[in-house]
Amino acid sequence: MSDASAAADGDAPDADESDNGSFTLWDQDAVKLTTLVIGLFALYLLGGYLLGYGTRQQLASIGQLSVLIGVFAMLALALNLHWGYTGLFNIGIIGFMAIGIYATAVLSKGAATAEPAAGSTGGFGLPLWMGIIGGVIAAAIFGGLVALPALRLRADYFAIVTVGISEIVRFTLLETEIQKVQIAGYWTGLGGGSGLILDFDPTDRFLEAFGLMDAYIGFSDTLGEQLGVGSNPKPIFDTLLYGLILFVFLIGFYMLLQRTGNSPYGRVLKAIREDEEATKSLGKDTNRFKIKGFMLGCALMGLAGILFYAEQGAITPDAFRPRLTFYVWIALIIGGAGSNTGSVAGGAVFAAFLFRGPIFFKNIVQNTFDSLDAPSTFGQAVSPITGADPIPLVAYTIDNMGQLQLVLMGIVLIYLMHNRPEGMFGHRKEPASPIRLQDRTQPKPAASAAATDGGRDQGGTDDE
């Protein structure tokens, strides 16, 4: 992991930075992504306007949407490192997220030295930032433990092993024997089936860490009054601020992975994806590269998991079913595996249209037709069809949008695999070299190639 980030910080110049002049503004990936996200926000504001939302609801809706976009885009980016770059078919994402947030919870929950009441546990009382670092490290180490043996396997076996491991993680979290244990005088544990209460609010901790709490409360009060948000504006602004924090993390993820992808290290990963045997024959220790790549991706999944669940106030093992893993896969496939820009776009589109969209649509329809009484079972909904009365079935459909949403996701996945397996941004031509080959006039390439791996111990990594 450290090697990987070292390589990421290396001298490989960013393809986009090298020559801005010969590109129009639209060719910049950042511009595309910003436009996409702003467009999605606008769409939701329009939907809210149709629903007759007040300012408060509009802000809340935008806040929730940005949190979801941030989380899914981050997860898709991390998965892209596994699947898009290295060709590792990981369908155990949720397991690594669970490890991350549970480690954070155990480390950062308030310390309990006396035995807590039934159904609750304490933690080690460390500051949240230490808990987060601990969670990320735990996810990375767990990823390494999984990868060490599993990387020898074929892609489809690897898939089955990873989903099996994510289920083993969930069963372990459910286990009552480690629900509450005493370690070094502290009462802690994983909470079993009832889960853990997270007694830290990441937004508050963030503000407190920078000493901005008072200023923030004053600010949100005045701004809330001006916008007419109503009483107690803090939760609304909290969500917005948290969305903003997630976007900052997302930019960090993107830059890290973009750098990693363009680094000599990332090129070896891509080579492994294309043909592992050939890469081996060039003298690369492909297993070491794969393990490092896998661990880095797992660490990022752990971090995304921490950021996703920390804000929710409580976690239960039930939240860590394999379903979420497949959400991330759908996001990545929409965006296009192999492209970081595509991963972010896919995460945003997934969050806006497939994850939140159907529920939003349901709200709009139910708001518009107040009198829509949905029958409670499918049978009652279908039987009037014989009398040419489709309304009950439509009402039932709208009412059960949460289930149909997943049917829709499945169909989208099938459609994409049939018609556009490369997604929105996949299989774009990537220059094999980190510098633009058209710029032959500059006397740089040789020097740059030498500098790229000069002084860095990358296990024999070098340029083409």
Partner 1 sequence: MGVSGTYDRGRELFVEDPIRAVIIVVAVVLVLDGVRQLAVGATQFSELGVMLKDGLMRGLFFGLAGIGLSMTYSILNFANFSHGDLITGGAFGGMIATYVIAGGFGSEGDIGSLMLLGSGATAIALALVIDRLVYKPIRDRSGITLLITSIGVAFTLRYLILFVFDGSRRGVTQSGAIPTVDIPAIDGTVSLNLHELSLVVVAVGLMAGLHFLLQRTKLGKAMRAMSDNEDLARITGIPTERIVTYTWIIGAGLAGVAGYMFVIWNGTLHWFQGWILLLPIFAAVILGGIGSIYGAILGGLVIGLTMSISIMWLPSGLTRAAAFFIMIVVLLVRPQGIFAGRATA
Which positions touch partner 1 (CB under 8 A)? 89, 149-150, 152-157, 159-161, 163-165, 167-168, 171-172, 174-177, 326, 329, 333, 377-378, 400, 403-404, 406-407, 409-414, 417-418, 421
CB of 213 to partner 1, least distance (A): 42
Nearer to partner 1 by C-beta: 356 or 456? 356
Q: Which two tokens stand for residue 265?
A: 């290290």
How would you label 418-447 residue by residue, b for 16+ Cβ within 10 Å and e otherwise? eeeeebbbbeeeeeebbbeeeeeeeeeeee
Nearer to partner 1, 5 or 400 (CB): 400
Nearer to partner 1, 129 or 378 (CB): 378
Cα 37 from Cα 44, distance rounded (Å): 11
Considering the complex, what minimum distance in angstroms separates the CB of residue 100 from partner 1? 20
* Nearer residue to partner 1 within complex by CB, 103 or 173: 173
State the angle between helix axes of 286-310 and 264-274 in degrees (0 to 180), rounded to the nearest 10: 100
Please, which residue, 43 or 408, has the CB nearer to partner 1? Answer: 408
Smallest gap from Cβ 417 to partner 1, in A, equals 4
CB-wise, 212 or 411, nearer to partner 1?
411
The number of CA neighbours under 13 Å toward the Cβ of 311 is: 22
Distance between CA atoms of 235 and 243, rounded to whole angstroms? Answer: 12
> Cα–Cα distance between 133 and 299 in angstroms, integer?
10
Q: Which is nearer to partner 1, 241 or 406 (CB)?
A: 406
User: Closest separation between CB of residue 288 and partner 1, Å?
Assistant: 18
CB of residue 382 to partner 1, shortest distance in Å: 9
226 or 419, CB closer to partner 1? 419
Give which of 188, 55, 76, 75 is closest to 124, Cα–Cα: 188
Q: Least Å distance between CB 230 and partner 1?
A: 36
What's the rounded Cα separation, in Å, for the pair 62 and 458?
Answer: 43
Q: Report in angstroms how near the CB of residue 42 gets to partner 1 at its nearest.
A: 30
Q: Which residue has the tokens 């998991």?
A: 305
What region does 87 belong to: left with phi over 0, alpha with psi -120 to 50, or beta?
left
Cα 61 to Cα 45, 245, 278, 355: the distances in Å are 8, 17, 50, 13
Q: What is the DSSP string of 249-271?
A: HHHHHHHHHHHHHHSHHHHHHHH
Report in angstroms how near the CB of residue 357 gets to partner 1 at its nearest: 16
Query: Strand 196-197 vs strand 314-315: parallel, antiparallel, or unpaired?
Result: antiparallel
- Nearer to partner 1 among residue 140 and residue 173 (C-beta): 173
Pick 219 or 415: Cβ nearer partner 1: 415
Tokens of 423: 């997604």
- Cβ distance to partner 1 smaller for residue 48 or 87: 87
CB of 92 to partner 1, least distance (A): 11
240 contacts 63 by C-beta, under 8 angstroms:
yes
Taking the C-alpha atoms of residue 320 and residue 15, their distance in angstroms, rounded to an integer, is 38
Identity of the residue, 127 or 164, whose beta carbon is nearer to partner 1 in the bound complex:
164
CB 146, min distance to partner 1, A: 9
**Least distance to partner 1, CB of residue 309, Å:** 22
33, amino acid identity = L
How far apart, in whole angstroms, are the C-alpha atoms of residue 220 and residue 217? 5
The DSSP secondary structure of 141-192, one letter per residue, reads HHHHHHHHHHTTS-HHHHHHHHHHHHHHHHHHHH-STTSSEEETTEEE---G
C-alpha distances out from residue 243 to 207, 311, 380, 403, Å: 14, 10, 42, 26
Phi, psi of 7, rounded to the nearest 5 degrees: -65, -35
**Shortest CB 381 distance to partner 1, Å:** 10
